[in-house]
Copies of this chain bind each other. A is one copy, B any other.
Amino acid sequence: MQFDSLDDIRTFCRDLPAANRRFADIAAHCQQNLTKPPGSLGRLEDLAIWLAQWQGREQPRLDRVTVAVFAGNHGVAARGVSAYPPAVTAQMVANFTAGGAAINQIARLAGAELLIVPIELERPTRDFTEAAAMDTDEFLGAVDEGCRTVPDDCDLLAVGEMGIANTTAAALLCTALLGGDAARWAGRGTGIDDGGLTRKRAAIDAALNFHRGILDDPLAVAAALGGRELAAMAGAVLAARQRGIPVLLDGFVATSAVLPLARLDAGALDHCRAGHVSAESGHRDLLRELGLQPLLDLDMRLGEASGAGVAILLIRAALACHAGMATFAEAGVASADG
């Protein structure tokens, strides 16, 4: 799968691969016969059906689960919008590689392989307050990086990111594509102080003004106002859609990264679930705009796919029940009003 132009992406999003209703029906019917009151496993039941219909399998499976963490650097970091210096992006990539970060521990617990994908860290995007963050070729290159990261035979994909200053890019995408002012979407990210928050909002206002001519084009916005790791996450989510791989989105940045796809087609994220709602202030609102109900609400705001990684555990619980429970007939249990 490769997108050679923005129009290629638009074409894909006009004719998206659909879920397999037959396998959804089979999974739903299976759930009805398991030894529990109908519906009593709540969202765990929905998750089993979701796996079946997107994997296109009568028996969904989670043999290969992949966590992909994309990393990028941002020109806007020079404007003092983060509590951490830009060098931390590469330092954290080294930490991921060495196994010392939260996502390493979470992925191991969840039985997931962890793919770390730094994208041209030595070449930050341009400062979007005064230029396009990426031109079309740079954007497509990052999208392609995301596409190529997704293994063909993966059963579930969790996507996340690392990139100092990238909550500024994420908030900018939300402001550009969903409206409201910078204050609606810009939060404290890794924990900036009041001065940093003021600079962050000013950067967003400046970027919106500079790019005001392109705001009605979601992909032009994704290129000019986004970031490489955000573009890569969008690419990974598109590749997963093509390959029948259900996706868990991580937090505010990951969700913002796929917002342009949802603006192209409201069904573009139907194969995705929100792993969690983060403590970053705009995330709950963004999920509501996208009609995504988060699986977890643990006040996390770390990024690096940590929330989606924890949510893998819930998907495993859903599948364990779906695949392992006895039916009423097998167990000799009377069903309701029996």
Contacts and interface: CB of A to CB of B under 8 A. Distances in A.
Q: How many copies does the complex hold?
A: 2
B95 A35 contact: yes
Interface string A28-48: 000000111111111110000
A41 B317 contact: no
B40 A100 contact: no
Interface residues of A, number: 62
A313 interface: yes
A171 B87 CA distance: 56
A40 B300 contact: yes
A258 B323 CA distance: 33
B100 A301 contact: no
B37 A302 contact: yes
25 contacts: A34-B102, A35-B102, A37-B84, A37-B301, A39-B301, A40-B191, A40-B301, A41-B306, A42-B299, A43-B298, A43-B299, A84-B334, A84-B336, A84-B337, A85-B338, A91-B333, A91-B334, A102-B325, A105-B321, A105-B323, A105-B325, A109-B317, A190-B336, A298-B314, A313-B317
Interface of A: 34-44, 83-85, 87-88, 91-92, 94-95, 98-102, 104-106, 108-109, 190-191, 279, 295-302, 306, 310, 313-314, 316-317, 320-321, 323-326, 330-338
